[in-house]
A and B are shown apart, each in its own frame.
Chain A
Amino acid sequence: MNKFDYLIPTSIQEAISLHESHGEQSNYIAGGTDVMVKIKQGKINPLVLISLTRLKGLDHIIYEKGELRIGAMVTHRMLELSPVIRKEFPILIDAVENIGSVQVRNVATIGGNIVNGVPSADGAIPLLTLGAQVRTVGPEGERTVALEDFFVGAGKTCLKSGEILSEFVVPELPAHSGAAYWKHTRRGAMELAILGVGVLISLKDDMKTCAEARIGLGVLAPTPMRAKKAEAILKGKKVDEETLKEAGSTAAQECKARDSIRGKAWYRRGMVELFVRRMGTVAMERAS
């Protein structure tokens, strides 16, 4: 493995100024399950790693007045075991309990998962579906970006040099909302998804008509994406087998599925169609 120095700052400001002084040769590291692997595989070659593990105020899970705030350094295992997440945001549980293995989840952070920027990020799709926002802090101060706008290309985010992702904020969801996520894999564990589908449905007071729908897709485009056309299909309509089917086929058309060693585009499109329908049904059940 390449030689690098390992720095462990104890405040965000210290971390940012360390990054400023080392510049392009440095890399932030959270749990390390992505960064360490990338270094071992020669994909990145930093001379300095700046750890985020001792920074304070980044490991909270707060659900207050309908708004959910998750610190970037929260591990997937913390999310998996959080009673409030399990009760109020089961779509996140759908995702995190299927990430890697217990060993990985104990260490890997939700922030690191999103910053890694890969289209298969299981943490990203549910957050995208929930309409999350990302808060960052960097040399130029703090800013908030919609998660939708956070991913700019395969493996690329809009994080500026030196910026640290600090928190996810899920604004209060509309009334009667339910959401579900499906990770499609070949085996029962240790899988990078063939594709991921997250569906959120908010019902009108009649509990049958869709007030708003959000559909997040993973591994079906260079970045995690929202299937806006498919969402529009559901909006204002009665949610039933037929509308879900239509939404599914629209999502299949608007996604940019590609061939890779993990799956072929035609199969992915077929599964998008199927799982928009299946997850839409689960989302409906959870909304009730």
Chain B
Amino acid sequence: MSDLLYVGKNVPRTIEVDKVTGRAIYINDLKRPGMLYGKILYSKYAHARIKNVDISKAEKLPGVRAVLSGYNIPDVRVGFLKDQTVLKKGIVRQFRDEVAAVAAISEEIAEEALGLIEVEYEELPAVFDPIEAMKEGATLVHEVDVRGKPVTSNIIPLPWKFKAGDIEQGQKDSAYVVKDSLTTTWINQCCMGTSGCVAEFDMNNNLTLYNQTNVPFLDKQRIVEYFAGIGLKGQNVRVVNVTVGGSFGTKLDTDIYEFISIQLALKTRKPVKVLFNREEEFQALPPRQPARFTIEQGCDKEGRLTFRKSEAILDNGAYTSWGVTTPSVMMMPMSSLYRVPNVSFEATCVYTNNIYCQAMRGYGNPQATFAVEVSMDRLAEKAGIDPAELRLINSNQSGDITPMRLKITSCGLEECINSVKKKLDWGGKKKKQKSRGVGMASLIHVAGGARVYLSDGHGMMIKIDQNGHVDVLESGTDQGQGSPTVISQIIAEALGFKPEDISLTFGDTGLCLWDAGTHASRHTFMAGNAAIRACEKAKRQILEIAVEKIPGLIKGNFKRKKRKDPDFVEPDLDYNLISGPEKLDIRDRMVFPKAAPDHPYFKFEVSDILRSGLHVGVGESKVVVADAFYDPPTENLDREMKGNLSLTYAFGATGVEVEVDEETGKVKILNLFAAHDVGKAINPTLVKGQIYGAAYMGAGYALTEEMLVENGRVMNPNFRDYKMLTAKDIIPVDPILIETDEKDGPFGAKGIGEPGLVPTAPAIANAIYDAIGVRINDLPITPEKIITALKEKKKQN
């Protein structure tokens, strides 16, 4: 690759200056003319029959413009399995069930109105433990399925069964086998900007939804389907994002609050904002999916993995969102982290009266990798092999096709493990220190798109005006990861312009082409590849104009020179150098002939070319506009849950050194090395930013974060008692960028948004074991659990 001007450089985020000056408009800040404020009334019980809903007093409160309940809006079902209505009617199945909603002229009046809604409940027995819920005779959370047929079990009929090879044979071939049980719990995404949206209808009943979604086109589609059920078939929906205050998975679904704001806007004929306060964000927003794993792994005498068998039980909560699809991603580490020939994985999802879950960074991979990587360490110990060595022996390699049929292209796993080993001084520190220990874990994740839907396409349009300013209509979304800067860098590089020439509009369904969603760490990969293709087309258009117009421009220059200086002699120029667009190139906003990059007469500012192409006088004027819809050659998962769903995969390893205070049980992280195969770091500073943030999230996941849910109720719905880490929780994170130059990635890049988080918790758990000889298989690893485990260990000795 010739020397790159922008890709690979730490271009600052100057394009986002509004964020440091208080001018960026988040959903909290958005005001539309005549806007009303919507508030939601939640259920008082985890499971109850609704006997009566009386909204009459609330309706009469001055300033209230609409009061809705399950009884005055259509019964249309929504959600992944269409197992809930927008406002609940008849039965409430969890504490956060939305029973009524109010739109009023101020937030205070809307709150007051909620207090005037009278709901009569008849409490029903509830079930809060998925194991209990699976038993025969357990209280049914749903009595009929979506088609109205009676249901006899809380187990959801979902196809999460994966099998490859022959497990029994694998067990027979094993010299060493370990079996473990591990659990992970509910984790809140803790976006600093809370959830919310503004719904606004025009007088023709077309909707504009100002939102914060990761999936504007899917969001739109779900609303279009919803419209069909509520008598608005054929009306247009436009989803437009404002500045988003973080996502981490919270915005992949179309949440109930979005439908509520739409209903309120429809009823009042005014824009309606529904905005969560922080308590709602903890209690009424679906968190990360908890999981209970059993996992069995074996290896032969040489340490080669022989089989991996795992089962998971997922507490689905009362309804279904993305949480219950996490097993489809769990299959990836289960089947493909390291070379393992025989694999089986089965996940059972069970309805309970707890809160239901959605996506969160990593989407099942952090949970499953915790299980796999703790098990690997146990296996290493049993086999008498160093844990790093066991991983290297079984490392994925370029060219592998895994049991899930994932095609491994570029693979820097070995390099990641080795660099982490070195940084940790693995040999010098492993099993050598009192109360201090080192541990590691690796990851595999999709990094080249993810064919979750039938299309994994991503569209981009660019238009270039006569001044050389580039407007980009980008179908992905920006949640703060730095996409405006990164995509500007790629486009600037591909076009030969400068990043400051570029303005981007993200995720507006009225303007942009389709995209499957900014999820699965796919944005840079997909947008970058679409950009390169669109820029190729745009560049060609510019160069075709150049070929046509340069001779005329030169003639004009010479005329002017002759007028000033009559003695001027026109030089003899070799117009062959510029006779075709393939002979020209653009760099630094200058069009020039490839064969003579510094030609004194054939080099032109790109804006001169563009202007001459547009303002022609006589003939056909031209504008430059190009689009690309990039859909990588990947596969959906087939019935056996196998298929190469991504064009390339991210690999990485996290190594941690911890110190445990054996008297208090508190864990201090002394060092955290995160080595990631990123293909190519388009902007190293931004890539590191993803790794730092993910490492902190991972440390919280491992040690301090948990939603305390008791009998269906979230007991710590605030930042005081939900332990997200602060700036005083110092973790020395050292990100190591390994560039394997992925041939299918834009300039070689792969995704990084989620991988940074995935191996952190098991690395910490493994390090704790090295430090104090106890394993805690239940996240988070709190001081209490460590003290209890140490006491147990003492008793046994």
- The short answer to whether A and B are in direct contact, CB under 8 Å, is yes
> Which A residues have a C-beta under 8 Å from some C-beta of B?
1, 184, 186-192, 261-264, 267, 270-271, 274
| Minimum CB–CB distance for B700 against chain A, Å | 9
Report yes or no: B784 in contact with A267, Cβ–Cβ below 8 A. yes
CB of B716 within 8 A of CB of A261, answer: yes
Query: With A192-B721, A271-B664 given, can you name 7 additional A-B contacts, CB distance below 8 Å?
Result: A187-B704, A189-B726, A189-B728, A192-B720, A261-B715, A262-B721, A274-B664
- For B664, the chain A residues whose CB sits under 8 A away are 184, 271, 274
B111's closest neighbor in chain A, by CB?
A1
Within the complex, the shortest CB–CB distance from A189 to chain B, in Å, comes to 4
Would B108 and A267 count as touching, CB distance under 8 A?
A: no
B108: chain A residues at CB < 8 Å are 1
B residues in contact with A270, CB < 8 Å: 787
8 pairs, A vs B, C-beta closer than 8 Å: A186-B782, A187-B704, A187-B729, A188-B729, A188-B730, A189-B728, A192-B720, A267-B783
CB of B708 closer than 8 Å to a CB of A: yes
List residues of chain A with CB within 8 A of the CB of B704: 186-187
Counted as pairs of residues, one from A and one from B, with CB atoms less than 8 Å apart, the total is 43
Chain B, 728-760, CB within 8 A of any chain A CB: 728-730
Q: How far is the CB of A239 from chain B (nearest CB, A)?
A: 19
Are B721 and A188 touching (Cβ within 8 A)? no
A residues less than 8 Å from B787 (CB atoms): 267, 270
Among residues of B, the one whose C-beta sits closest to the C-beta of A1 is B108
Majority DSSP secondary structure for residues of B touching A:
loop
B727: contacting residue among A1, A186, A189, A261, CB under 8 A: A189
- Interface members, chain B 622-670 (any A CB < 8 Å): 663-665
Question: Given contacts A261-B708, A271-B664, are A187 and B784 in contact (CB under 8 A)?
Answer: no
B691-714 interface bits toward A, Cβ cutoff 8 Å, 1 = contact, 0 = none: 000000000000010001000000
The 3 closest A-B pairs by CB, nearest first: A188-B728, A189-B728, A189-B726
Q: Which residues of A contact B721 (CB under 8 A)?
A: 192, 261-262
Nearest B residue to A101 via CB reads B726
Q: From known contacts A184-B664, A267-B787, A270-B787, infer whether A190 and B715 are also in contact, taking CB-CB under 8 Å.
A: no
Q: Which residues of A contact B663 (CB under 8 A)?
A: 274
Query: Which B residues between 178 and 193 are near A, CB-CB below 8 angstroms?
Result: none
The distance from the CB of A41 to the nearest CB of chain B, in whole angstroms, is 9
Given A267-B784, A270-B787, A274-B664: A187 in contact with B720 (beta carbons within 8 A): no
Bound complex: CA A186 to CA B726 (Å): 11
A1–B665 Cα distance when bound, in Å, is 41
Is there a chain A Cβ closer than 8 Å to B575's Cβ? no
**Nearest CB on A from B396, distance (A):** 36
| In the assembled complex, B725 has its CB within 8 A of some CB on chain A | yes
With both chains docked as a complex, state the minimum distance between the C-beta of B135 and any C-beta of chain A, in angstroms: 28
User: Within the assembled complex, what's the spacing in Å between the Cα atoms of A207 and B228?
Assistant: 85
Please tell me if B723 contacts chain A, counting CB pairs below 8 Å: yes
Cβ < 8 Å to A, chain B residues 771-797: 782-784, 787
Does chain A have a CB within 8 A of B453? no
Decide if B568 is an interface residue (CB 8 Å cutoff). no
- B728:A187 contact, CB within 8 angstroms: yes
Residues from chain A with a CB closer than 8 A to the CB of B715 are 261
| CB-based nearest B residue for A100 | B720
Interchain CB contact under 8 A, A187 and B723: yes
Q: Please name all residues of chain B whose beta carbon is closer than 8 Å to the beta carbon of A190 when the two chains form the complex.
A: 719-720, 726
**B723–A186 touching, CB < 8 Å:** yes
Min CB distance A103 to B, Å, is: 13
CB neighbours of A189 from chain B (8 A): 726-729
CB neighbours of A187 from chain B (8 A): 704, 723, 725-726, 728-729
What distance in Å separates the Cβ of B377 from its nearest Cβ neighbour in chain A? 25
Closest to A270 in B: B787
- Closest chain A residue to B107, Cβ basis: A1
A262: nearest residue on chain B (CB-CB)?
Answer: B721
Tell me how far the C-beta of A114 lies from the nearest C-beta in chain B, rounded to whole angstroms. 20
Q: Which residue of B lies closest to A98 (CB)?
A: B728
CB distance from A257 to the nearest CB of B (A): 13
**Which B residue's beta carbon lies closest to that of A184?**
B664
CB distance from B671 to the nearest CB of A (A): 17
- Say how far A247's CB is from chain B's closest CB, in angstroms: 16
Taken together as a complex, chains A and B put the C-alpha atoms of A156 and B720 apart, in Å, by 22
Q: In the docked arrangement, what's the CA distance between A36 and B783, Å? A: 33
How distant is A264 from chain B, measured CB to nearest CB, in Å? 6
Minimum CB distance partner of A40 in chain B: B277
Complex: A271 Cα to B665 Cα, angstroms: 10
In the bound complex, how far is the Cα of B715 from the Cα of A261, in angstroms? 7
For the complex, what is the distance from the CA of A1 to the CA of B108, rounded to whole Å? 7
Contacts of A192 in B (CB 8 A): 720-721
Shortest beta-carbon distance from B494 to chain A in Å: 44
CB-based nearest A residue for B277:
A40
Within 8 A of A (CB), among B467-498: none
B404 to chain A, nearest CB (A): 38
Report how far A192 CA is from B721 CA in the complex, Å. Answer: 8
Minimal beta-carbon separation of A200 from chain B (angstroms): 22
Q: Give bound CA distance, A18 to B672, whole Å.
A: 58
A270 to B726, CA, bound (A): 26
A239 to B708, CA, bound (A): 42
Closest Cβ neighbor of B724 among chain A residues: A187
Residues of A within 8 A of B728 (CB): 187-189
| Smallest beta-carbon distance B702→chain A, Å | 13
Cα(A47)–Cα(B782), bound, Å? 43
- Give chain B residues whose Cβ lies under 8 Å from the Cβ of A271: 664
Give B730's nearest chain A residue, CB to CB. A188
Residues of A within 8 A of B726 (CB): 187-190
Complex: A262 Cα to B720 Cα, angstroms: 10
Query: Which residues of B sit under 8 angstroms from A263, Cβ to Cβ?
Result: 784
Specify which chain B residues have a CB less than 8 angstroms from the CB of A274 in the assembled complex.
663-664
Q: Separation in Å of the B667 CB from the closest CB of chain A?
A: 11
Chain B: minimal CB distance from A39 (Å) = 13
Contacts of B784 in A (CB 8 A): 263-264, 267
Residues of B within 8 A of A186 (CB): 704, 723, 782-783
A98 to B722, CA, bound (A): 18
Interfacial chain A residues near B665, Cβ < 8 Å: 267
The minimal Cβ–Cβ distance linking B596 to chain A, given in whole angstroms, is: 62
Q: In chain B, what residue has the closest Cβ to A192?
A: B720
Complex CA distance for A170 and B555, rounded to whole angstroms: 94
Question: In the complex, which residues of chain B have a beta carbon less than 8 angstroms from the beta carbon of A267?
Answer: 665, 783-784, 787
Closest approach, in angstroms, between the C-beta of B709 and any C-beta of chain A?
11
Taken together as a complex, chains A and B put the C-alpha atoms of A271 and B663 apart, in Å, by 8
Docked CA distance A262–B730 (Å): 22
Q: Which residue of B lies closest to A273 (CB)?
A: B663
Residue of A nearest to B708 (CB): A261
What separation, in Å, do the CA atoms of A264 and B708 have in the docked complex? Answer: 13
On chain A, the residues within 8 Å of B730 by CB distance are 188
| B722 CB to nearest A CB, Å | 10
Q: Name the residue on A nearest B666 (C-beta).
A: A186
Within the assembled complex, what's the spacing in Å between the Cα atoms of A191 and B783? 16
A192 to B782 Cα, complex, angstroms:
17
Which of A186, A263, A264, A270 has the most chain B CB within a 10 Å cutoff?
A186
User: Complex: how many Å from CA A223 to CA B795?
Assistant: 35
Q: Cα distance A39–B721 when bound, in Å?
A: 19
**Chain B 58-70: CB-based contact to A (< 8 A → 1; otherwise 0):** 0000000000000
In the complex, A271→B786 CA distance in Å? 13
Provide the bound-state CA to CA distance between A271 and B719, in Å: 24
* Complex: A187 Cα to B728 Cα, angstroms: 8
Q: Which residue of chain A is the closest to B726 with respect to CB atoms? A: A189
Which B residue's beta carbon lies closest to that of A194? B783
CB-defined contacts of B782 to chain A, threshold 8 Å: 186
Residue of A nearest to B727 (CB): A189
